[in-house]
Amino acid sequence: MVRDADPGLSRTLRSPRLTGLLGVALAVAFTTCFVTGLISHLIQRPPDWFWWPSRPVGLYRVTQGLHVATGLASVPLLGAKLWSVYPRLFAWPPARDLAHAIERAAVAALVAAALFQLISGILNIARWYAPMPFFFTAGHYWSAWLAIGALITHVGVKLPIIRQALTRATPDLAQPGALTRRGLLGTVGAAAGVITLATIGQTVAPLAPVAVLAPRRPGTGPQRLPVNRTAAGAGVRDAAFDPGYRLTVTGPARTVSLDLAELAALPQHTVVLPIACVEGWSSTGTWSGVRLRDLVALVGADPENAEAYVESLEARGRYRATTVPPPHLRDPYTLIALRLGGEVLHPDHGYPARLIAPNRPGVLQTKWVARITARITA
Ligand SMILES: Nc1nc2c(c(=O)[nH]1)N[C@H]1C(S)=C(S)[C@@H](COP(=O)(O)O)O[C@H]1N2
Ligand SMILES: [Mo]
């Protein structure tokens, strides 16, 4: 027998059907979040079999926007789901038999992993790393596998109950004047809606004015673009403004070192592309500069079959270098940008030169580029 703190409320509201409906919403949100997160992970650490195109230019903006939005919307859903079953989470004795023990262990793992996912994700968006004594990306990634594994186990174990709860409508037995199941689901849905509306404007520009909970919004910051890491923060101010600055490009045939005048004398191109940060914000800019494929051709690599290792003036830091894979290197939209919105790049946006490529996470759009090494891949 389950003891309950508030039998009046819970006898009417808590039911397998309520838990089942919340569970379906949560499973959809979590699965979307998992798949989009996995895509983001694979783009950043591509195994040999993985291939990510350079078009459509804003695809990553959509997948990562969904990742963060579904994660945030899961907060009220998970809260309500836990509320709907919590007397049973503390049921005594802890296990009736071995099967029950395994089932409960899977639930414990699922709850722990899900909470860990949501909390670490939110801390990362808020850029509050102090409570995370581990590298966020690794912790968030590995616990995602734990969460999805536990979720699949949980759904498998509960399938008969889920099926019954979802096919057989049980009466909505509220006392007169009390909260009904429909009312509760409406409230949870509204909470998820408000959270989405208050944050989605970080990537859906027309909703930016109502994105009151978004740490970064499109159209804000120097040159109307949010800044991730500043030039001062990266310790590159002196190197960026050094008159001796050269962009060094190395390829199979030769190495060239180009000063700013020489870079400006090469054919210039303008593209409209977003920075789409893994943290869920994105903002479109109008970038001008030299095509990466032109630079690579200059040092004797065939741009159709090459990749480029792009390094920053930034001496240390996890995001000081990146590899541009063949689809992006080939793409005429991929630039070493010198200008943003018609002006010389702001120092915080990567002056004197930064990488901007279509359909790539912001974290791979290297700022303050100093060196490019082209390698033949075919
Ligand atoms: N060298 C270097 N480039 C970098 C970073 C960095 O830390 N160092 N941060 C990246 C991240 S996480 C993002 S989202 C984009 C943001 O570009 P912005 O600051 O011009 O908007 O820059 C990327 N380029
Ligand atoms: Mo980022």
Domain range summary for the chain, segments of one domain joined by +: 7-197, 222-376
What is the reported pLDDT for 142? 97
Q: Provide mean pLDDT across the span 209-229.
A: 95
What is the reported pLDDT for 11? 57
What is the reported pLDDT for 9? 53
Which band of pLDDT confidence, cut at 50, 70 and 90, is reported for residue 76?
very high
Percent of the chain clearing pLDDT 90 (strictly above)? 88
Q: Provide mean pLDDT across the span 13-23.
A: 92
* pLDDT, tens digit, 9 for 90 and up, residues 167-196: 987 787 777 788 899 999 999 999 999 999
What is the reported pLDDT for 39? 98
Atom of ligand 1 nearest to the CA of 276: 14
Q: Is the CB of 228 under 6 A from ligand 1?
A: yes
159 Cβ partners below 8 Å, 6+ apart? none
What is the reported pLDDT for 4? 44
| 44, 60, 129, 228, best to mutate for ligand 1 pocket (most atoms within 8 Å of CB) | 228
Closest CA to 202 of 192, 213, 215, 217: 217
Cα separation, 12 vs 19, in Å, equals: 13
Q: Provide mean pLDDT across the span 20-38.
A: 96
Highest mean pLDDT among 4-18, 90-104, 127-141, 234-248: 234-248
The ligand with the least distance to the CA atom of 315 is 1
User: Which pTM was predicted?
Assistant: 0.94
What is the reported pLDDT for 223? 97
What is the reported pLDDT for 38? 98
Query: What is the residue whose two structure tokens read 């040159």?
Result: 223
CATH number of 222-376: 3.90.420.10
Give the pair of three-digit tokens for residue 219.
Answer: 């159209």
**If you measure from the C-alpha of residue 334 to the centroid of ligand 1, how many angstroms do you get, rounded to a whole number?**
16
Report the relative pairing of strands 335-340 and 321-324 from DSSP bridges.
Answer: unpaired
Which band of pLDDT confidence, cut at 50, 70 and 90, is reported for residue 3?
very low
* pLDDT, tens digit, 9 for 90 and up, residues 312-349: 999 999 999 999 999 999 999 999 999 999 999 999 99
Give the pair of three-digit tokens for residue 276.
Answer: 């789409």
Query: What is the residue whose two structure tokens read 């919340």?
Result: 22
Closest CA to 355 of 291, 278, 297, 277: 291
Closest CA to 18 of 69, 93, 84, 92: 84
Write phi, then psi, for 27 (nearest 5 degrees).
Answer: -65, -40
Query: What are the CB-based long-range contacts (under 8 Å, 24+) for 99-104?
Result: 103/157
Is a pLDDT exceeding 60 seen at residue 6? no
User: Ligand 1, atom 10: nearest CA belongs to which residue?
Assistant: 363
Q: Is the CB of 363 under 6 A from ligand 1?
A: yes
Cα separation, 195 vs 201, in Å, equals: 11
Atom of ligand 1 nearest to the CA of 279: 14
What is the reported pLDDT for 12? 67
Residue bearing the bigger pLDDT, 106 or 323: 323
Which band of pLDDT confidence, cut at 50, 70 and 90, is reported for residue 273?
very high
Average pLDDT, the chain: 94
Helices (H), the chain: 7-13, 16-44, 59-89, 98-125, 136-167, 181-197, 231-234, 237-241, 260-265, 292-298, 326-330
User: Ligand 1, atom 20: nearest CA belongs to which residue?
Assistant: 349
